[in-house]
Amino acid sequence: MSDHSSPSRPPPSAAQPSVTETYELSVNGRARSVPDAWIGESLLYVLRERLGLPGAKNACEQGECGSCSLYVDGVLLNSCCVLAADAVDADIRTVEGLGDGGHLTDVQQAFLDAGAVQCGFCIPGLIVTVHDLLDRVPDPDELQVREAISGNLCRCTGYGRILQAVEDVKLARLADPEGSS
Amino acid sequence: MSADTTGTTTRTPGVRDGLDTDAARPDGTPKVTGAFAFSSDLYAQQMLWGRTLRSPHAAARIVSIDTSAAEAMPGVAAVLTAPDVPGKATYGLEHADQPVFASDVVRYQGEAVAVVAAEHPELALRAVRAIEVVYAVTAPLTDPEAAIDAPPIHPDGNVFRHLPLRHGDIHATGEVVVEGTYEMGMQDQAFLGPESGLAIPSEDGGVELYMSTQWLHVDRDQVAACLALPAEQVRMTLAGVGGAFGAREDVSLQVHVSLLALRTNRPVKMLYSREESFHGHVHRHPAKMWFRHHADRDGTLVKVEARLVLDGGAYASSSTAVIANAVCFAGGPYRVPNAEIHGYAVRTNNPPCGAMRGFGVVQACFGHEAQMDRLAEALGMDPVELRLHNALRPGDELLTGQVITGTAPVREVIEAAVAHDLPPLPVDGESVMALPGGAGLTAERRDVRRGTGIAVSIKNLMFSEGFDDYSTAGVKLELDPRGRPIATVHCACAEVGQGFVTLAQQITRTALGVEQVLLRNADTQIGSAGSTSASRQTWMSGGAVQLACEAVQERLFERASVRSGVAVEAGRRRHFRMRDGEVVEVDGTFAMSVAELLAEGPIEEIREHHHPATEPLDEDGQGNAHVSFAFAAHRATVDVDPELGLVKVLQVATGQDIGRALNPRAVVGQIEGWIAQGVGLAVMEEILVQDGLIKNPSFTDYLIPTALDMPSVVQTVIEQPEPGAPFGAKGVGEPPTISSTPAVVAAIRAATGRELPRVPVRPQDIALT
């Protein structure tokens, strides 16, 4: 599951838009080379199309839907709105880097247990967002949760089971502070 | 949980994660880790990127197309236009009236004119921009009412279908008459996973197409016709689907990406941007509707008259079926002895419209429920009482003359919806986020008005009007390497998020008593499963899996009879049954494990499941055109700031007729999710079209409910097993979105006293009228 070792894809065989550069990104604790890439590419594109990390999703590519949420230097961002070449030297953490040694995180498990997953397209972004919320605010009330995830659009669930999953993780973490992911 | 009264399922008590449990989704873990492969995640070595050139005009003649500059660009592998289509030049879900590429005229903004394939998506975009098309712009035909008699804008004419319905005495009159006109804007399905697919040329000259879609086989047939290939040379496999809701029932990029792959002899991926997605799929039909309801003084409905005009946009898609639903259910879930309804689905130069959850009934329901409230007011009657008084019951006749032979718990769903507690009254010190306008700090509690409204709906399940609707499933039972039984299910049913993959496992576990159930990819290597739409897959494909399991069971019993020496003539089921992983003799001592019976080899069976035949509607819109019906009632409570016209939907309470909950947790999620879409249509969702042009093709400007917009949902499911339905279950996906919209609008009317004949209700409709 956690894909810390995804193989980089070969660069496209022929023409590329100019201007290209070769640079290195730090993704999920690993240095990843991005050879000969057009500098106009978003971080979302480079992760998905060059580094083989499709967990961040591309629903709007204009910062409205949150499907591409990830951490850059510990800050939750929409990766569609970040140029990859600008993220050099930053610590990038994607949904693929959340799990520990192949185990689901408490948030991932709670989403499954609560029935929060339907088509699933928004889910990786929501998982990252909920981790960010509960790591910052251990005991949010319902309105705080709704506000925190309001930048992540979901079209299938009406958010009910997602809110349930967040509540479940919150209570479990408050009951057992040592056991949280 | 209700008992299964259908008698068609062999229940194996004790099997883990079988029917009636909250079995987990088999695709759940990859979906929470990010490993699940959606169609937009696909990749192949040496892959090119495809991109579409679309018309910027709603109506124009194409004077010339010059692709030479695009073809000369480095990294561009192909540029294709209409003359490059080797087969049929048009496609369409029910009527092939849409060109693969426009060549002489364009009929809507966004119509495809050319496609390119290039080494990088940015190069593809630049190549598209380098294609020079000279248009002679013409005046778009955008008024659906005018389109009925206007000169045709397509050789097939402007009226997709005029459907009259006459029932009972069309001259009957009631003592109380109310009349109104209503309007619905264009809603978008707004699935999150954009249209995308990967086409790989195959050695036999055909193509392998990995695609997010709702119906693999009709896609395949349309692609094959346009490519001039035999169907078997177009092999389609379902790629991960990021939501559908009707918008993936029509072909989008399927033909284009396949043409590019065959032309370049390389894998080609296409992926729409969000803006392109708004132009690249059909939407919910906007509607203009007139209703006149007649009733006696005691509230008994006497007659419904209506004229419904749906704007189908430039191409037919499924407009002819959408208008049939609107007409057939224009009376709502009520006993209406007399009716005269005229429905029109017409062609304009507006964006094409087709399937979206609720499919024609959403439009009609907004009108008939507003009328029921109007009638209640005219009668001085409670709106809930009026609805209960007229509620359909089993054995009643619909407007089509069809008698309801199955369940019809209309009274029950209404009573369940209104039995829920209302949301709590405001408390001191409440968060500003609880007020209309939220963080905008625009409202004060003392100015806010609260209102409550109710609405009820009926929806047909599965395809109607004589369509031979079926699904196909294969089940293979064998031993795994460790000698344990394992079943593999093969079905072309498109999993779009609804959870068929879970249900297929549950059915197989229960029917065969095996815990290990694998699912093969949905593809065209097996027969059609029909569309994932019309609330049909639990019934149709669930039923096909059940039949295939029973056929496998029959073969197990056959082996058991040989091994036991128990002679059986007909009906092996009378002699054997399944129990805890064994086949046991009913009136004897023989018992043998399934594993032992499988030692002589695997068992594989494929079955088709057809629903009972339906009839076409006659010239008066009469006939047994539908298979089964589901009902729902919604009660909405809203807070409104009348000065700014902002609405906060606080709660939606619902009672819903579901037959039987095969996976109760999944049912909860379906109901919540589709109330969200109903709330969206009520207060925020509309594709704004001006002179045929979409003004808001983005998630910045087309708003769908966020977690802050979403009300609390309280729900009661009514479980009355439907006779003839596999497991007694009805589809649950559509009803929540049908009557939740009119319930919210009724609540806003109650809070403001405004007429509000149009959805979505905009702030100016409340504050400035």
| B310 and B437 inside one domain | yes
Task: For residue A28, give its domain range.
Answer: 20-97
| A93 and A57 inside one domain | yes
pLDDT of residue B9: 39
| B105 and B55 inside one domain | yes
Asked if B297 and B177 count as a contact pair (C-beta separation under 8 A), the reply is no
| B453 and B509 inside one domain | no
Supply the CATH number for residue A37's domain.
3.10.20.30
Q: Could you tell me how many residues make up chain B?
A: 769
Residues A156, B497: C-beta atoms closer than 8 Å: yes
Measured torsion, CA atoms of residues A47, A52, A53, A58, in degrees rounded to the nearest 10: 60
Query: Please, what is the angle between helix B361-379 and helix B735-752, to 10°?
Result: 40
Distance from the A177 Cα atom to the nearest Cα atom in chain B, whole angstroms = 23
Instruction: Judge residue A37's burial from the number of C-beta atoms within 10 Å of its C-beta, 0-12 exposed, 13-18 middle, 19 or more buried.
Output: buried
Q: Is B185 part of any domain?
A: no
Residue B457 touches chain A, beta carbons under 8 Å: no
Residue B681 belongs to what H/E stretch?
A: helix B664-683
Contacts of residue A115 in chain B, CB cutoff 8 Å?
22, 665-666, 668-669
| A55 and A120 inside one domain | no
pLDDT of residue B4: 34
Cα dist from B293 to A144, B1, B331, whole Å: 46, 39, 9
- Average of pLDDT values for B43-72? 98
**C-alpha to C-alpha distance for B399 and B341, rounded to whole angstroms:** 9
Residues A3, B35: C-beta atoms closer than 8 Å: yes
| B675 and B547 inside one domain | no
Q: Is A8 part of any domain?
A: no
* DSSP three-state, residue B512: helix
Q: Is B165 part of any domain?
A: no
Q: Is A12 part of any domain?
A: no
Distance from the B338 Cα atom to the nearest Cα atom in chain A, whole angstroms = 39
Residue A8 clears pLDDT 90, i.e. is over it: no
pLDDT of residue A15: 79
Last residue in a domain, options A51, A80, A97: A97
Q: Is B398 part of any domain?
A: yes
pLDDT of residue B432: 86
Distance from the A175 Cα atom to the nearest Cα atom in chain B, whole angstroms = 24
Residue A9 clears pLDDT 90, i.e. is over it: no
| B513 and B622 inside one domain | no
AA letter at B321: A
In the numeric block, which tokens belong to residue B157? 């004419």
- Average of pLDDT values for A29-47? 96
- Average of pLDDT values for B126-132? 98
DSSP letters spanning B135-191: EEE------HHHHTTSPPSSTT-SEEEEEEEEES-TT---SEEEEEEEEE-B-----
Phi and psi (nearest 5°) for A124? -55, -40
AA letter at B538: T
- Average of pLDDT values for B8-20? 68
**C-alpha to C-alpha distance for B41 and A3, rounded to whole angstroms:** 15
Residues A124, B33: C-beta atoms closer than 8 Å: yes
- Average of pLDDT values for B118-136? 98
Residue A1 clears pLDDT 50, i.e. is over it: no
* DSSP three-state, residue A64: coil
In the numeric block, which tokens belong to residue B727? 């497991």
Q: Could you report the per-residue pLDDT of B562-616, keeping only the tens digit for each? A: 998 877 766 667 789 988 889 999 888 899 999 999 999 999 999 999 999 999 9
pLDDT of residue A50: 96
**C-alpha to C-alpha distance for A95 and B632, rounded to whole angstroms:** 38
Of B244, B245, B673, the CB nearest to A157: B673
| B221 and B72 inside one domain | yes
| A72 and A113 inside one domain | no
Q: Is B578 part of any domain?
A: yes
Residues B700, A115: C-beta atoms closer than 8 Å: no
| A113 and A168 inside one domain | yes
| B418 and B477 inside one domain | no
Q: Nearest 5°: CA angle at B136, between B133 and B141?
A: 120
* DSSP three-state, residue B366: helix
> Which residues 20-59 on chain A approach chain B with CB closer than 8 angstroms?
38, 40, 45, 48-49, 52-59
Cis amide bond preceding B664, omega within 30: no
| A60 and A89 inside one domain | yes
| A63 and A27 inside one domain | yes
Q: Is A15 part of any domain?
A: no
| B476 and B353 inside one domain | no
| A118 and A92 inside one domain | no
Q: Is A5 part of any domain?
A: no
Asked if B80 and B261 count as a contact pair (C-beta separation under 8 A), the reply is no
| A89 and A28 inside one domain | yes
| B512 and B368 inside one domain | no
In the numeric block, which tokens belong to residue B277? 């997605």
Contacts of residue B668 in chain A, CB cutoff 8 Å?
115, 160-161
Number of Cβ within a 10 Å radius of residue B290: 15
B/e letters for B726-738, b = 16+ CB within 10 Å, e = fewer, are bbbbbbbbbbbbb
Residue A12 touches chain B, beta carbons under 8 Å: yes
Q: Is A1 part of any domain?
A: no
Supply the CATH number for residue A150's domain.
1.10.150.120
Task: For residue B521, give its domain range.
Answer: 28-37+470-610
Q: By CA distance, what is A155's nearest residue in B?
A: B191
Question: What sign for the dihedral angle of Cα B317, B323, B324, B325?
Answer: positive
Q: Could you report the per-residue pLDDT of B343-381, keeping only the tens digit for each? A: 999 999 999 999 999 999 999 999 999 999 999 999 999
**C-alpha to C-alpha distance for B124 and B117, rounded to whole angstroms:** 6
**C-alpha to C-alpha distance for B573 and B585, rounded to whole angstroms:** 10
Last residue in a domain, options B610, B635, B651: B610
**C-alpha to C-alpha distance for A16 and B76, rounded to whole angstroms:** 10
Q: Is B11 part of any domain?
A: no
Question: What sign for the dihedral angle of Cα B414, B417, B421, B425?
Answer: negative
- Average of pLDDT values for B715-739? 96
Residues B32, A152: C-beta atoms closer than 8 Å: no
Of A15, A60, A156, the CB nearest to B243: A156
* DSSP three-state, residue B281: coil
pLDDT of residue B590: 92
Q: Could you report the per-residue pLDDT of B219-258, keeping only the tens digit for each? A: 999 999 999 999 999 999 999 999 999 999 999 999 999 9
Q: By CA distance, what is A148's nearest residue in B?
A: B707
pLDDT of residue B571: 63
**C-alpha to C-alpha distance for B395 and B759, rounded to whole angstroms:** 34
In the numeric block, which tokens belong to residue B269? 């991926």
In the numeric block, which tokens belong to residue B330? 């224009």
Residue with tokens 């998982």: A127
Q: By CA distance, what is B189's nearest residue in A?
A: A155
Distance from the B356 Cα atom to the nearest Cα atom in chain A, whole angstroms = 13
In the numeric block, which tokens belong to residue B133? 């098309």
Q: How many domains does chain A contain in total?
A: 2
Residue B365 belongs to what H/E stretch?
A: helix B361-379
AA letter at B512: L
DSSP letters spanning B448-474: -EEEEEEEEEEEEES--TT---EEEEE
Distance from the A141 Cα atom to the nearest Cα atom in chain B, whole angstroms = 11
Q: What's the ipTM?
A: 0.95
Asked if B256 and B84 count as a contact pair (C-beta separation under 8 A), the reply is no
| A45 and A84 inside one domain | yes
Residue A68 touches chain B, beta carbons under 8 Å: no
* DSSP three-state, residue B123: helix
Q: Is B430 part of any domain?
A: yes
**C-alpha to C-alpha distance for B725 and B513, rounded to whole angstroms:** 22
Q: Is B373 part of any domain?
A: yes
Q: Could you report the per-residue pLDDT of B295-331, keeping only the tens digit for each? A: 999 999 999 999 999 999 999 999 999 999 999 999 9
| B646 and B734 inside one domain | yes
Residue B241 touches chain A, beta carbons under 8 Å: yes
Residues A160, B665: C-beta atoms closer than 8 Å: no
Residue B747 touches chain A, beta carbons under 8 Å: no
Side-chain half-sphere CA neighbours of B229 within 13 A = 23
Residues A122, B665: C-beta atoms closer than 8 Å: no
Q: Is A127 part of any domain?
A: yes
pLDDT of residue B349: 98
Pairwise pLDDT comparison (B567 vs B215), residue with the higher score: B215
Residues B32, A149: C-beta atoms closer than 8 Å: no
Q: What is the 3-state secondary structure (H, E, C) of B596-615?
A: HHHCCCCEEEEEEEECCCCC
Best residue of B40, B51, B192 to probe chain A, by most A CBs closer than 10 Å: B192
Contacts of residue B678 in chain A, CB cutoff 8 Å?
none
Q: How many domains does chain B contain in total?
A: 3
Residues 6+ apart with CB under 8 A from B275: B697, B698
Supply the CATH number for residue B319's domain.
3.30.365.10
pLDDT of residue B15: 84
**C-alpha to C-alpha distance for B671 and A118, rounded to whole angstroms:** 12
Phi and psi (nearest 5°) for B657? -85, 110
Q: Could you report the per-residue pLDDT of B413-467, keeping only the tens digit for each? A: 999 999 999 999 998 888 888 899 988 888 999 999 999 999 999 999 999 999 9
Distance from the A89 Cα atom to the nearest Cα atom in chain B, whole angstroms = 24
Residue B7 clears pLDDT 70, i.e. is over it: no
Q: Is A134 part of any domain?
A: yes
Contacts of residue A45 in chain B, CB cutoff 8 Å?
121
| A42 and A93 inside one domain | yes
Percent of chain A with pLDDT over 70: 92
pLDDT of residue B3: 33
Q: Is A10 part of any domain?
A: no
Contacts of residue A108 in chain B, CB cutoff 8 Å?
29, 32-33
Pairing of strands B712-718, B646-657: parallel
Distance from the A78 Cα atom to the nearest Cα atom in chain B, whole angstroms = 14
Instruction: Judge residue B521's burial from the number of C-beta atoms within 10 Å of its C-beta, 0-12 exposed, 13-18 middle, 19 or more buried.
Output: exposed
Residues A160, B669: C-beta atoms closer than 8 Å: yes
Residue A4 touches chain B, beta carbons under 8 Å: no
Q: Could you report the per-residue pLDDT of A52-109, keeping only the tens digit for each? A: 999 999 999 999 999 999 999 999 999 999 999 999 999 999 999 998 777 999 999 9
Q: How many A-B residue pairs are in contact by the CB < 8 A criterion?
A: 211
Residue with tokens 């909950």: B661
Residue B690 touches chain A, beta carbons under 8 Å: no
Residue B10 clears pLDDT 60, i.e. is over it: no
Contacts of residue A142 in chain B, CB cutoff 8 Å?
none
| B374 and B352 inside one domain | yes
Contacts of residue B22 in chain A, CB cutoff 8 Å?
115
Number of Cβ within a 10 Å radius of residue B370: 26
Phi and psi (nearest 5°) for A85? -65, -20
Contacts of residue A10 in chain B, CB cutoff 8 Å?
45
Supply the CATH number for residue B114's domain.
3.90.1170.50
Residue A17 touches chain B, beta carbons under 8 Å: yes
Contacts of residue A111 in chain B, CB cutoff 8 Å?
28, 32
Q: Running DSSP on this structure, what letter comes out for residue B240?
A: B
Last residue in a domain, options B565, B581, B610: B610
Residues A159, B707: C-beta atoms closer than 8 Å: yes
Last residue in a domain, options A97, A121, A144: A97
Last residue in a domain, options A51, A70, A97: A97
Contacts of residue A3 in chain B, CB cutoff 8 Å?
34-35
Pairwise pLDDT comparison (B220 vs B768), residue with the higher score: B220
| A78 and A120 inside one domain | no
Residue B664 touches chain A, beta carbons under 8 Å: no
| B700 and B720 inside one domain | yes
Residues B192, A119: C-beta atoms closer than 8 Å: yes
pLDDT of residue A180: 55
| A87 and A110 inside one domain | no
Of A15, A117, A153, the CB nearest to B706: A153
Q: Is B547 part of any domain?
A: yes
Residue B666 clears pLDDT 90, i.e. is over it: yes
Residue B173 clears pLDDT 60, i.e. is over it: yes
